[in-house]
């Protein structure tokens, strides 16, 4: 396979409701789509980066720059190109996991479309549908939160994740438990706490949460290990896990007993599968995280979430959790599950007219 050209397309997707986390509130997603044009097929990679480096060090204009300047020329120079080669060719370049993930996914999609093979089949999907959870943003009031959670439970979501931060943690968790009983419940702090908050976070213990996700800074793996000795709720890492190796280290340190696998954060689906494998080998359950993807990114996540050690429901919500109109045929919740696509590659295609409607810029980069 040969990479002949790449389209960098920016789209603006309004959210059905503002999504608030400890690092800010968003009303729309500004997304970079990478379209790989190869000699055998085309493929799509959706970039997870946000506009500002607040959730992670990467940001969408930075991703476009590193792709243009370094990654695309390097990958275009490879003669026997496949998705595995992308990781190899890009390994001399440090960091930029989301940029690497988007490009590798686009090449993998092209490769699999050419071979008539699905992402699920390639990754090793063990089931044809995956159980789904939903991530619920920070709200202005408890009644608003209870309305939102009640709505999601009515739709069939099998697990609720509450975003928390200092000042919005014990009370919302208590309120959801009191109203909705023993629903599967977990929280995500997106690094909003310090080790000195250990006593406070232990106040969540009586609520029997599935896990608390990333309470401390991403580089504070040792802090999470300390916290795990004070807090009875299982610690799950998200931002801290950037590779299979860092996952193994965090597990060995006792920093987490559950891992959120986000392909974008670890450089793509191949490394995400290795994270899955290393966690499985240590008896550590994983679940699939989300970055408010369109149907393109969602399709790949759902395929990954079908691997055998994804034993907890993921943030693989239906399209309408985030978008009134998705650029692909929408993923719909059926009995709390999403079906794993079976068509070639991602198994979904953007609708050309819908895609044009949300496009804010297109850059075609010829690599021949």
Tokens of 125: 């999907």
When CB distances are held under 5 to 8 angstroms depending on the partner's kind, the choice from ligand NPQ, Mg ion, none that residue 120 binds is none
CA distance 253 to 152: 36
Least CB distance to ligand NPQ at residue 40 (A): 33
Contact mark string toward ligand NPQ, 308..337, x via CB under 6 A = -------x----------------------
CA distance 118 to 32: 23
Considering only the stretches 37-45, 113-121, 204-212, 283-291, report the one whose residues sit in contact with ligand NPQ under the rule CB under 6 A.
Answer: 283-291
* Whether 262 is catalytic: yes
CA distance 81 to 367: 14
User: Binding residues for ligand NPQ, how many (CB under 6 A)?
Assistant: 15
Least CB distance to Mg ion at residue 135 (A): 8
Phi-psi region of 335 (alpha: psi -120 to 50; beta: other; left: phi over 0): left
When CB distances are held under 5 to 8 angstroms depending on the partner's kind, the choice from Mg ion, ligand NPQ, none that residue 46 binds is none
Catalytic residue from among 2, 100, 161, 163: 163
When CB distances are held under 5 to 8 angstroms depending on the partner's kind, the choice from ligand NPQ, Mg ion, none that residue 111 binds is none
Binding to ligand NPQ (CB under 6 A) within 71-90 occurs at none
* Whether 161 is catalytic: no
Q: Work out the number of other CB atoms within 10 angstroms of the CB of residue 220.
A: 20
Considering only the stretches 97-105, 266-274, 289-297, 326-334, report the one whose residues sit in contact with ligand NPQ under the rule CB under 6 A.
Answer: 289-297
Least CB distance to ligand NPQ at residue 29 (A): 6
Tokens of 203: 């106040």
Least CB distance to ligand NPQ at residue 201 (A): 17
> Is 26 one of the binding residues for ligand NPQ (CB under 6 A)?
yes
From 269, 317, 257, select the one nearest 293 (Cα to Cα). Answer: 317
Tokens of 279: 């966690």
Q: 24 has which bridge partners?
A: 21
Comparing CB distances to Mg ion, the nearer of 213 and 326 is: 213
Instruction: Identify the residue among 169, 218, 238, 326 touching ligand NPQ (CB under 6 A).
Output: 238
> Is 237 one of the binding residues for ligand NPQ (CB under 6 A)?
no
Comparing CB distances to ligand NPQ, the nearer of 76 and 189 is: 189
Comparing CB distances to ligand NPQ, the nearer of 6 and 300 is: 300
> Is 50 one of the binding residues for ligand NPQ (CB under 6 A)?
yes
Residue number closest to Mg ion, CB atom: 238
Q: What angle do CA 242, 248, 251 make, to 5 degrees?
A: 105
Active site residues: 163, 262
Contact positions vs ligand NPQ (CB under 6 A): 19, 21, 26, 29, 50, 55, 135, 188, 190, 238, 289-292, 315
């Amino acid at each position: 396979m040969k990479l002949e050209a790449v389209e960098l397309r920016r789209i603006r997707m309004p959210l059905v409701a503002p999504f608030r986390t400890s690092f800010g509130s968003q009303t729309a997603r500004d997304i970079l789509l990478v379209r790989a044009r190869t000699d055998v097929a085309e493929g799509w990679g959706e970039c997870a980066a946000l506009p500002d480096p607040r959730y992670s060090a990467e940001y969408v204009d930075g991703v476009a720059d590193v792709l243009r300047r370094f990654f695309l020329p390097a990958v275009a120079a490879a003669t026997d190109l496949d998705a595995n080669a992308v990781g190899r060719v890009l390994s001399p370049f440090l960091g930029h996991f989301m940029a690497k993930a988007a490009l590798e996914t686009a090449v993998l999609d092209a490769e699999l479309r050419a071979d008539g093979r699905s992402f699920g089949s390639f990754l090793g999907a063990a089931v044809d549908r995956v159980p789904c959870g939903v991530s619920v943003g920070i709200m202005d009031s408890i009644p608003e939160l209870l309305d939102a959670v009640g709505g999601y439970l009515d739709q069939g979501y099998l697990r609720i994740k509450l975003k928390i931060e200092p000042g919005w943690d014990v009370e919302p968790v208590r309120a959801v438990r009191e109203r909705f009983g023993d629903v599967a419940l977990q929280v995500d702090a997106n690094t909003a706490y310090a080790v000195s908050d250990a006593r406070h976070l232990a106040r969540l213990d009586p609520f029997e949460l599935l896990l608390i996700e990333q309470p401390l800074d991403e580089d504070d793996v040792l802090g999470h290990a300390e916290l795990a000795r004070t807090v009875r709720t299982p610690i799950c890492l998200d931002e801290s896990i950037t590779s299979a190796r860092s996952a193994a280290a965090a597990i060995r340190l006792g920093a987490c007993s559950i891992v959120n696998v986000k392909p974008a954060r670890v450089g793509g689906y191949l490394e995400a599968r290795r994270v899955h494998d290393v966690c499985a080998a240590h008896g550590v359950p994983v679940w699939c995280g989300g970055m408010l993807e369109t149907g393109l990114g969602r399709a790949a996540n759902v395929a990954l979430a079908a691997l055998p050690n994804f034993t907890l429901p993921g943030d693989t919500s239906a399209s309408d959790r985030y978008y009134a109109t998705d650029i692909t045929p929408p993923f719909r919740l059926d009995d709390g599950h999403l079906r794993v696509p079976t068509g070639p590659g991602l198994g979904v295609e953007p609708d050309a007219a819908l895609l044009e409607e949300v496009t804010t810029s297109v850059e075609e980069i010829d690599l021949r």
